[in-house]
Amino acid sequence: MKIEEVRSTAKAQRISAHSHVKGLGLDENAVPHQEAAGLVGQEEAREAAGIIVDMIRSKKMAGRAVLLAGPPGTGKTAIALAIAQELGSKVPFCPMVGSEVYSSEVKKTEVLMENFRRAIGLRIKETKEIYEGEVTEITPHETENPMGGYGKTVSHVIVGLKTSKGNKQLKLDPSIYEAIQKEKITEGDVIYIEANSGAVKRQGRSDAFATEYDLEAEDYVPLPKGEVHKKKEIVQDVTLHDLDVANARPQGGQDILSMLGQLMKPRKTEITDKLRKEINKVVNRYIDQGIAELVPGVLFIDEVHMLDIECFTYLHRALESSLAPIVIFATNRGRCSIRGTEDIVAPHGIPMDLLDRLVIVKTSPYTKEEMLKILRIRAKTEGLVIESDALELLSETGERTTLRYAVQLLTPSAVTAKINGRTSITKDDVNEVAGLFLDAKSSAKLLSENDSKYMK
């Protein structure tokens, strides 16, 4: 008799270049550990990033920007992502690349403004009248279809809700029954229904059913306390871009013409400055009334030297706005000409007047020991077993070429080891793969030696 284990159908998360980064790795005194939270070395840059995180949390960072400057492969993007991890999932983090602004469909300034708005969150607190409890019954009542024909239609639905204090039966509109079906609500689920809008929200399965299965992917929540009918404070997190899109979308009727009009509209429509100003007024009024709280997020612009002079002048105005996120730039360029100009050379390809506004954080090249630690973390993240002498050889390769190239060799080495019938990566596997693939420096040397053989 053959017994097989049933494999999970859940998709495995793809391992990216920075999957191992979990935070800045600082102790309680904001001093960085040499190796912590997936980051290695760069102590000064991480300590500076820790101070920036504290400034963001205390809301003292408005209208300022940070520049992470350093050679390629020195952990600039990793530090920016670590800042996002430290701030938590509720703070919006919007990453983009400088070259994203060059689109034939949308203006450059529109792309920048859209990303600015994505990085500003609004936490709206509302006190709503709701019915909350564990579902004890869902009974739809049918009646003859008023349109004629054979079918029947749901006239109303009876939903029983139970809390720790008592039970209640509610007679609900058929549209709410559709919402219940959409949310896939069954008996034993804990839900709440808003009294005004009729919106239904499933909070999870009642923890009374927690022992039903040995393994369960369900979120179990306790039975709600108090009465079924109550007032509850509900917190919603939205970004300003969400509000822009919601208000810009045409609210057409249900007729064919309006649907066709929406289908034939261009995929990307610009949101007008007038609409944004109106939304800002409403947002400011909510903030003044204490209904909403502004959560300035982080806009991370990588390869900032790719922006041109028009974008830089636009960024000046955007940074001075009262609704501005914290902007983090990153670049690996030294002195180079500013894009969009012919002869203006500036540090990092950024105009001097914008550089004045920036807090510059420097990253330095990694030492051989630091590369070894990073390679060990990457191997663990990718689930690879590597022998110490192979790891030593890879760190030497990284020192001679680049860290990125050394990290790139890890997975091909694991494939080679598997072909040779080994479960761990050895020195021979690394040597074999290094002979098959070229690094950037070797490729450049080969090109210069065989210059005459290539087409000009």
Confidence of residue 148 (pLDDT cuts 50, 70, 90): low
Confidence of residue 11 (pLDDT cuts 50, 70, 90): very low
In percent, the amount of the chain with pLDDT more than 70 equals: 87
Highest-pLDDT range among 25-29, 330-334, 433-437, 447-451? 330-334
Range(s) within the chain of domains with CATH label 1.10.8.60: 368-449
Q: By mean pLDDT, which of 110-114, 159-163, 218-222 is the weakest?
A: 218-222
The average pLDDT across 312-316 equals: 85
**pLDDT for residue 208 is more than 80:** no
CATH number of this structure's domain 125-238, picked from the four choices 1.10.10.10, 2.40.50.360, 3.30.499.10, 2.60.40.420 = 2.40.50.360
The average pLDDT across 201-223 equals: 73
Confidence of residue 217 (pLDDT cuts 50, 70, 90): low
Q: Which fold has domain 368-449?
A: Helicase, Ruva Protein; domain 3 (1.10.8)
pLDDT, position 14: 57
pLDDT, position 8: 45
CATH number for the domain running over 35-119+297-362: 3.40.50.300
**pLDDT for residue 413 is more than 50:** yes
Average pLDDT, the chain: 78
**pLDDT for residue 281 is more than 70:** yes
Q: By mean pLDDT, which of 205-209, 286-290, 444-448 is the weakest?
A: 205-209
**pLDDT for residue 79 is more than 60:** yes
232-255 tens-digit pLDDT:
777 778 888 888 887 776 555 445
pLDDT, position 358: 83
Backbone dihedral angles phi then psi of residue 442, each to the nearest 5 degrees: -65, -40
Range(s) within the chain of domains with CATH label 2.40.50.360: 125-238
**pLDDT for residue 269 is more than 70:** no
Secondary structure (H, E, C), the chain: CCCCCCCCCCCCCCCCCCCCCCCCCECCCCCECCEECCEECCHHHHHHHHHHHHHHHCCCCCCCEEEEECCCCCCHHHHHHHHHHHHCCCCCEEEEEHHHHCCCCCCHHHHHHHHHHHCEEEEEEEEEEEEEEEEEEEEEEEEECCCCCCCEEEEEEEEEEECCCCEEEEEECHHHHHHHHHCCCCCCEEEEEECCCCCEEEEEEEHHHCCCCCCCCCCEECCCCCCCEEEEEEEEEEEHHHHHHHHHCCCCCCCHHHHHHHHHCCCCCCCCHHHHHHHHHHHHHHHHHCCEEEEECEEEEECHHHCEHHHHHHHHHHHHCCCCCEEEEEECCCEEECECCCCCEEECCCCHHHHCCEEEEECCCCCHHHHHHHHHHHHHHCCCCECHHHHHHHHHHHHHCCHHHHHHCHHHHHHHHHHCCCCCECHHHHHHHHHHCCCHHHHHHHHHHCHHHCCC
358-373 tens-digit pLDDT:
888 888 888 888 888 8
The average pLDDT across 186-207 equals: 80
Confidence of residue 10 (pLDDT cuts 50, 70, 90): very low
